[in-house]
Amino acid sequence: GAGVSQTPSNKVTEKGKYVELRCDPISGHTALYWYRQSLGQGPEFLIYFQGTGAADDSGLPNDRFFAVRPEGSVSTLKIQRTERGDSAVYLCASRLDMNTEAFFGQGTRLTVV
């Protein structure tokens, strides 16, 4: 596709449920990032993939959060036992390499009720 695509655009879930958020990066981009953004704040780093492997997952807040990128393209961010504090916009970005621009998707707004 022309840009980074994230689905769904909005997700409302009940506390304690499991959710999956999907990111389709720009074709050919080997680097993929997940960020989380709360209202009025800058994006907060969660995890970085280089190809299929998670090169840096130090931003994941706890073991309820997990992300995969099995074929080096689409990535899924998985959140178990959701809590109200997980409510935020989850942003995905991709770039060709560390010397090029990062492009962001429109985000998934997650609301945990």
Partner 1 sequence: KQEVTQIPAALSVPEGENLVLNCSFTDSAIYNLQWFRQDPGKGLTSLLLIQSSQREQTSGRLNASLDKSSGRSTLYIAASQPGDSATYLCAVDTSGSRLTFGEGTQLTVNP
Estimate the share of the chain in helix, then strand, then coil, as percent rounded to the nearest 5. 5, 50, 50
Nearer to partner 1, 14 or 42 (CB): 42
Instruction: Confirm or reject binding of residue 90 to partner 1 (CB under 8 A).
Output: no
Of the candidate spans 20-28, 60-68, 69-77, 95-103, the one that interacts with partner 1 by CB under 8 A turns out to be 95-103
Q: Which of 79, 76, 35 minimizes the C-alpha distance to 59?
A: 35
Instruction: Confirm or reject binding of residue 74 to partner 1 (CB under 8 A).
Output: no
Interface residue with partner 1 among 52, 80, 100, 111 (CB under 8 A) is 100
